[in-house]
Structure 1
Amino acid sequence: MSTPFEETLNPLVHEPAPLRNKIMNSLRKAIETGALEPGTHLVEKDLCEKLNVSRTSLREALRQLQAEGVLTDHNNRGLTVVTVTRTDADNIYRIRGVLEPLIVEQFIENAPDEEIEALKKQSERLKKAYLEGNAEEIVATKREFYDRICTGARNPIAFDLLKKLTLLTSPLRRSSVVRPERRNQSIQEIDAIVAGIAARDKAAAKAAAEAHVANAAVSAFRVAYTS
């Protein structure tokens, strides 16, 4: 006779997680680079053909992205890329204004000297991307920069959240980061963040991170909402 506990156990369905993750990463990159703009309706058949994946694997990835708030289903008409309102964007930048200084502080607390040296090298690659002015390269290199900070901070949860927040505001970021004045400003801000980290000066590093996000918001809103 089975126990109540045993009756709750069912065979597990082994999801193709590695493939699902590859599909999710491909779709995230398409959203990040603008290949999939906000409001774009996703057609499963087309995506399966382009990605050369099964519908089952694709649906697993789409469900996860929907759960993360990156995709939405309006009136059961199929999934579309989420369109972020100005209010949503303002909230995202305000959250980033708290989150990024936090991970910078945790990086200082937890990262050994060799990780600080690696961050310095990564910051040089980021500044080079800013100087060259290619939006896709800037965004990708910026992601790697914060990946290194979150890794050193020992805070993968923060990085997952940061990736989602920045992905949702991808259109704003792409338009903003290529502005010459914003690129020059960003280089100075990255230098200030790294200098604070290198000195293990939490107050200076956090202030630099806060300023970086605040100025990013100003620049993004100026491009998007000023005629």
Structure 2
Amino acid sequence: MQIQEADGLVPIHHNPAPLRTRIIESMRSAIERGILKPGERLVEKDLCDRLGVSRTSLREALRELESEGIVASVTARGLTVVRLSYRDAENIYRIRADIEALIMEQFIERADDAALKTLLDLCDHTIACYEAGDFVPIVDAKRQLYLHLCTVAENMVAHEILSKLTLRTAQLRRGSVTRPARQEQSIREMRDLKAAIAARDVDGARRAARSHVESAARSALEFARTRSA
């Protein structure tokens, strides 16, 4: 079965990375982009057909996603994408605020001029994606931005944690980020963050990072309340 790329679960072609890793990346991308939704039952045969992998390989990947709390067995019918509780969402955003503030500090401490220039270019790209208003490019741009930040900061532990946390709030982020008012606010916040980093202002960058996450939390949690009303 041939799947178009927009489906979010494309067949796994040859790649030097372990097959399990590639399946997990494809599944995470599909969850993040809303292709696989919270509460949706994961049918192994369907996923195997869409990914072009064996059931054994798929089950290995699903076990890892289950250990991360991304999918769970909630009924006898099998695994589903986990629904995030309101309290868990609150906690995730609070943790993110602390981690992202730390990353900004470590980046400024370790970045040479070339790394700083790359970061500022990535900020500009992220702002342009916010201005265009499409969710997937925004998510992709921020993924590149934070990968660079964490790499230069020499804190890939933070990158791994942030990747898992943002994935768990994927549905809330999608509802929040696509709001025009939130996009405009995010553009201002990204410009503030860029200015602080460009000036190598550690305290300013920490405040800007925290403010960005706290604003994202307010918008996402408001979306959660609206959805559950």
Q: Indicate if the aligned counterparts of 2:135 and 2:178 stay in contact, CA closer than 8 A.
A: yes
Q: Which protein shows a greater Rg?
A: 1
- Cα deviation digits, residues 130-155 of structure 1 (max 9, x gap): 01111111112111111111111111
Partner of 1:133 in structure 2? 133
Check 1:17–1:76 CA distance in 2 against 1; reply closer, same or farther (3 A cut): farther
**More displaced stretch, 97-106 vs 16-25:** 16-25
Give how far 1:223 is off.
Answer: 2.1
Partner of 2:97 in structure 1? 97
| Superposition pairs of residues 15-54 of structure 1, within 5 angstroms | 18-54=18-54
Give how far 1:17 is off.
Answer: 6.2
Give how far 1:76 is off.
Answer: 4.6
Partner of 2:5 in structure 1? none
Aligned residues: 212
**More displaced stretch, 103-112 vs 16-25:** 16-25
Partner of 2:161 in structure 1? 161
Partner amino acid, structure 1, of 2:58: L
Give how far 1:217 is off.
Answer: 0.6
Give how far 1:159 is off.
Answer: 0.5
Give how far 1:77 is off.
Answer: 3.5
Partner of 1:220 in structure 2? 220
Partner amino acid, structure 2, of 1:195: A
Check 1:210–1:42 CA distance in 2 against 1; reply closer, same or farther (3 A cut): same
CA distance in 1, matches of 2:88, 2:223: 16
CA distance in 2, matches of 1:18, 1:103: 29
CA distance in 2, matches of 1:117, 1:48: 42
CA distance in 1, matches of 2:17, 2:126: 31
Give how far 1:184 is off.
Answer: 1.1
Give how far 1:197 is off.
Answer: 1.4
Q: Indicate if the aligned counterparts of 2:86 and 2:224 stay in contact, CA closer than 8 A.
A: no
Partner of 2:10 in structure 1? none
- Cα deviation digits, residues 62-105 of structure 1 (max 9, x gap): 11111111111125531110100100000000101111001111
Partner of 2:59 in structure 1? 59
RMSD: 1.4
Give how far 1:193 is off.
Answer: 1.3
| Superposition pairs of residues 183-194 of structure 1, within 5 angstroms | 183-194=183-194
Give how far 1:224 is off.
Answer: 2.3
Q: Quick check: 1:207 aligned with 2:203? A: no
Runs of 4 or more, structure 1, over 6 Å off, are: none
CA distance in 1, matches of 2:182, 2:193: 16
User: 1:130 aligns to what SS in structure 2?
Assistant: helix
Give how far 1:33 is off.
Answer: 0.6
Give how far 1:191 is off.
Answer: 1.3
Partner of 2:123 in structure 1? 123
Give how far 1:41 is off.
Answer: 0.9
CA distance in 2, matches of 1:64, 1:56: 13
Give how far 1:113 is off.
Answer: 1.4
Q: Indicate if the aligned counterparts of 2:133 and 2:178 stay in contact, CA closer than 8 A.
A: yes
Partner of 2:152 in structure 1? 152
CA distance in 2, matches of 1:220, 1:188: 18
Q: Indicate if the aligned counterparts of 1:98 and 1:210 stay in contact, CA closer than 8 A.
A: yes
Partner of 1:81 in structure 2? 81
Q: Indicate if the aligned counterparts of 2:65 and 2:71 stay in contact, CA closer than 8 A.
A: yes
Check 1:17–1:60 CA distance in 2 against 1; reply closer, same or farther (3 A cut): farther
Q: Which runs of 5+ in 2 are unaligned?
A: 1-15
Partner of 1:173 in structure 2? 173
- Cα deviation digits, residues 109-165 of structure 1 (max 9, x gap): 112111110011111111111011111111121111111111111111101100110
Q: Indicate if the aligned counterparts of 1:139 and 1:174 stay in contact, CA closer than 8 A.
A: no
